[in-house]
Chain A
């Protein structure tokens, strides 16, 4: 039904915050044949435009960047010291396979002298790239280079796992929608940069585009795993229509617009209140004199780990909901 190879190649692309060019190039390849115009802005946001007939502008946004580990020092034995790019948990990052932009592979571990892994802090984490000296390490990796989890795409029935679902699965959903949608409005599909370090890219894109409506697509947490913190969202129960997260309160008119689009097209959706974590939705909302901004999320377990897990039925629902929204003649308004 949808293009799984496209999804897999977008998930596989290297792209921590500030280093999104590879992801941008991969996505560009998929959207270019369907777009009237494709360009990168000064920050690196990728923008694909598909004209409509209404004269209104709808921005879709999904972030290309993933969390990572940036090299801050290389010691004389060739070990790399790192700092987090975005919300990286040092305990989850210990004993992992990682990779760099140039293909260099490595594994992470932690200083064991003082305590066990559960108390590991970021300065105690290091990366072993198989080098035996600083010179050997510097031949492969420079200070300022960024590693990401080197996880594979795992299929578990209709569910998938990968280290980059946040937010590549939503990038793929926007690409999928962009290729098939019958849009009434001008659609600006914006693949944003640097969301994980504080929603830095989306606002700049929105400033230039001045959309009448923004719909962000992101992943959201779930409350359906053993003894997790409570949340109503479940995997496999549909895409979500965001009510609020720590960056945004979605205007009721935007929620109603998305819920109506879902209902009219029999798309499964669930409401979402995310207590911890912000999304581009909030950055776009506060651009210029304010933008009506909402968000469709794909429920995802184990976010910010190498094994983020989602259900392809929810992915499909998100794609359908985007298509339904951009085909609706009447946009929400104040």
Chain B
């Protein structure tokens, strides 16, 4: 599972450009699922037929990214970003478009900055991607407006239990959902890999109509704010504290029965866990639970520091325990207890 996570994190798949990630997952999922298909939006479905409740686990394939909107006369590329703090992109290496053309995001050198410029963060509109083109025409030989831009960070193990990568949000979920597909549970089981979550849960809104689940679990990477300057009640989650179970976020209030069932699934299997102690942000569960005539949705997340940046940090044990927690919930048929 860790090897797959490494491969998944190293793939580029900004929202709307999930093809590479989808192809990777599809090739593996078809070994385990009875049927695998892709809908018109690009959501990938892996179905393991069974009797009983229709249960869906989902993870989103997309990562936060940028998009080129044009080349300047001097060959620099202007871009726009979604869900990325402009303070984290300066001097980062990126790749652009289907051919993964390398570039860097440059900023004015420190010698040349005015005091005002030095004292504030530059916005995306003041930053440009430099691909080494000598002018606009040269730049447009390599890239096109509309090309996607991703960070080049490679997955790496840090210390004994930690890992660094881009896109841990939500390739951790993708890797866990793939692993769950190997098992057989006493339900009609779907693993759904959604698109465009980062832009507002867009893929899941369509996917839920194809699956019509009774119970759904969103597998996610979530914010960890266990930093020295944050007080206990501001941490949301802590890296290394175990997978996080949600009771509420900005898009879902988890039904108390579901919240309790997830906690029980952890306790019964002796899996360390923490609660996701924040109420902001949203996951695909938000789009799923209120669609059709409503269903039960909850969430299991892997805490990630510096999420939505080129380098997030997460705990390998949290990741593995998130898988075990989802597996415990499904194996013990907790989905029958939450309706």
Contacts and interface: CB of A to CB of B under 8 A. Distances in A.
Interface string A93-130: 00000000000000000000000000000010000000
A75 interface: yes
Given A42-B293, A72-B279, A18 B233 contact: no
Most buried by A among B233, B256, B279, B339: B233
A8 interface: no
Contacts of B214: 42
Interface stretch (B63-71, B158-166, B284-292, B315-323): B284-292
Most buried by A among B253, B275, B290, B293: B253
Interface in B267-299: 275, 277-279, 289-296
Contact of A17 (B253, B259, B292): B253
Contacts of B255: 18, 44
Interface in B234-261: 234, 247-248, 251, 253-256, 259
Contacts of A41: 293-294
B232 interface: yes
A143 B235 CA distance: 14
Q: Which range holds the interface residue count of chain A?
A: 20 to 34
**At the interface, is chain B mostly helix, strand, loop or mixed?**
loop
Contact of B279 (A44, A45, A83): A83
A81 B233 CA distance: 7
A203 interface: yes
Contact of A204 (B247, B254, B292): B292
Contacts of B275: 143-144
Given A18-B255, A70-B279, A201 B233 contact: no
Most buried by B among A73, A123, A198: A73
Contacts of A81: 233
Contacts of A204: 290-294
A126 to B, nearest CB: 9
A144 B278 CA distance: 10
Q: Which range holds the interface residue count of chain B?
A: 20 to 34
A324 B234 CA distance: 52
Contacts of A144: 247-248, 256, 259, 275
A200 B290 contact: yes
B248 A18 contact: yes
Contacts of B294: 41-43, 45, 201, 204-205, 207
Given A81-B233, A143-B275, A143-B277, A203 B339 contact: no
A208 interface: yes
Interface string B153-193: 00000000000000000000000000000000000000000
Nearest to A203: B290
A208 B293 contact: yes
Given A123-B233, A143-B275, A200-B290, A42 B247 contact: no
14 contacts: A42-B339, A70-B247, A70-B248, A72-B233, A72-B277, A73-B277, A83-B278, A143-B277, A144-B247, A200-B253, A200-B289, A201-B294, A205-B293, A207-B291
Given A43-B294, A85-B248, A144-B259, 11 more contacts: A18-B253, A18-B254, A41-B294, A42-B293, A42-B295, A42-B296, A43-B289, A123-B234, A200-B253, A204-B292, A207-B291
Interface of A: 17-19, 41-45, 70, 72-73, 75, 81, 83-85, 123, 143-144, 194, 197-198, 200-201, 203-205, 207-208
10 A-B pairs with the lowest CB-CB distances in the bound complex, closest first? A18-B253, A204-B294, A73-B233, A144-B247, A81-B233, A43-B294, A208-B293, A83-B279, A42-B294, A72-B277
Interface of B: 214, 232-234, 247-248, 251, 253-256, 259, 275, 277-279, 289-296, 339
